[in-house]
Structure 1
Amino acid sequence: MATGKSWSRWMAPLAAILMVVSLSGCFDKEGDQRKAFIDFLQNTAMRSGERLPTLTTDQKKQFGPLVSDYAILYGFSQQVNQAMDDGMKPVADSVNSIRVPQDYMTQREPLRQANGSLNVLGQQVQNAKMQADSSRSTLKQPDELKAVYDKVYQKVVIAPAEAMAPLIPAAQTFTAQLVQVGDFIQQQGTQVGFTAGGIQFPTSQQANQYNSLIAPLASQHQAFMQAYTAAQTSMQ
């Protein structure tokens, strides 16, 4: 019996030591994951430009469960980049291709298609922002991590979403007007003449109609380019 008691007394402190070591190891692991993730956010994500990097296998191991925190940022960034690539860059390319009046006709169909997709594009960006905000609200982050994560979230999610808000209606207004100009020229058929980079109509009424259609283009183009540049800047 004495031997059993001695064995129990010897095992009790050993078990306590093992428990402390085990718990300490767990806390150290979480701390290491948090430090690695904070370093990545500060020195990689914040400096990555318009496209966030995909995590490597080693980084996923280093960050542990914090990989899901990064997925919120990465998922929104991917959707906004796709919106710019599929929706806005084609508009900018078509606009930049218009140099002489004939180009209003050649670019009107691409612009018509782009204009039709902008409504869907705007809804996609709004939905992506709502999803990111909802996912972010469920995160339980220590203050040290939250402070850094919030800065990245501002740069990657909030700023681009706010920049896209005025860009989409500006693009819609501008492309719709360009399509109207192209349609008008097309409707005149062979009555229209193109010389030295200009356009000629047989009647003053046609010329006045054309001038009234192109009159808003300068201000609309300026508004679109300012919003487009702001959106690009917000993603860099």
Structure 2
Amino acid sequence: MTFAVKTWAQRLLMPVMALFFVMQLSGCGDSDKEQQKAFIDYLQNTVMRGSVTIPTLSEAQKQQLGHYAGDYAILVTFSQNFNRAMEASMTPLFSTLQQIRTPQEYLTQRDRLQQELGALNMLGQQIQSAKAQADGAYATLKQPEEVKAVFDKAFTKIVTGPSNAVMPMIPQAAGVAQTLVQVGDFLQNLGPQARFDNQGVQLQTQAQVDQYNQLMRDLSVKYQALMAAQQQNAGLLQN
């Protein structure tokens, strides 16, 4: 008789437990759907509408996005690495270029340009490393199709687009910096033979004038190409 009671108790318990597990599974599914929707909304309304510099998530946002916060971290990590590399090389170089207004500043800015050229020579490797890290993390993702479709667009905007835009600009910027350093070296080697006045420079021989003018022509071609590339990619690099 005891056995019968126990048996009936087990039979009664089984459908109750089955219902419990169904409810639990249903709850998890609903939670994941909510996280998917929150992630898609965040990508569309924050990442896709903003600049390439994207914000980190608050603790509340991490809770809302659930495991998708890890997917978003791929974008944030690349964005931070990319911006850090740019701010140590390309950004200060452009700032220096904007400060050069007179021939004498080719000379006074020469040492700074040499330092910035050294940092610029490391930029390509830094961006390639950051992109390889992002690509590797992206390859491991297993996202639902509706999430992947939006995330892929965000990945292109934050990772692929800026990388592809900057890499060709690095040798162009380096060429401008190298020519500016050459002009500075040229003027320094002339010493007192180069006299600066009225925002210009006076040289002593025709050979000096010819060499200076050739450097200026070379600089003009390289600078115009760099500015054209910057303008063309302004939308991809907008902070």
Q: So what's the TM-score if we normalise by structure 1?
A: 0.96
CA contact (8 A) 2:86 2:123 kept: no
Q: So what's the TM-score if we normalise by structure 2?
A: 0.95
C-alpha deviation, 1:210, in angstroms: 1.0
1:18 alignment partner in structure 2:
20
Task: Kindly tell me the number of residue pairs found equivalent between the two proteins.
Answer: 236
1:157 alignment partner in structure 2:
159
Tell me, in whole angstroms, the C-alpha distance in 2 between the residues paired with 1:230 and 1:68.
33
SS at match of 2:168: helix
2:65 alignment partner in structure 1:
63
Unmatched runs of 5 consecutive residues or more in structure 2 = none
1:119 alignment partner in structure 2:
121
Cα deviation, 1:143-181, whole Å, max 9, x if unaligned, reads 000000000001001100000111111111110000000
Cα RMSD of the aligned pairs, angstroms, is: 1.3
SS at match of 1:194: strand
The alignment status of 1:88 with 2:94, answered yes or no, reads no
Unmatched runs of 5 consecutive residues or more in structure 1 = none
Aligned residues with identical type, % of pairs: 47
CA contact (8 A) 1:156 1:235 kept: no
Q: 2:198 aligns with which of 196, 199, 222?
A: 196
C-alpha deviation, 1:8, in angstroms: 2.1
Tell me, in whole angstroms, the C-alpha distance in 2 between the residues paired with 1:188 and 1:71.
54
Alignment of 1:177-188 (within 5 A): 177-188=179-190
Give, as a single letter, the amino acid of the residue that structure 2 aligns with 1:55. L
2:7 alignment partner in structure 1:
5
C-alpha deviation, 1:231, in angstroms: 4.3
Give, as a single letter, the amino acid of the residue that structure 1 aligns with 2:64. Q
SS at match of 2:54: coil
Tell me, in whole angstroms, the C-alpha distance in 2 between the residues paired with 1:85 and 1:228.
15
Give, as a single letter, the amino acid of the residue that structure 1 aligns with 2:147. L
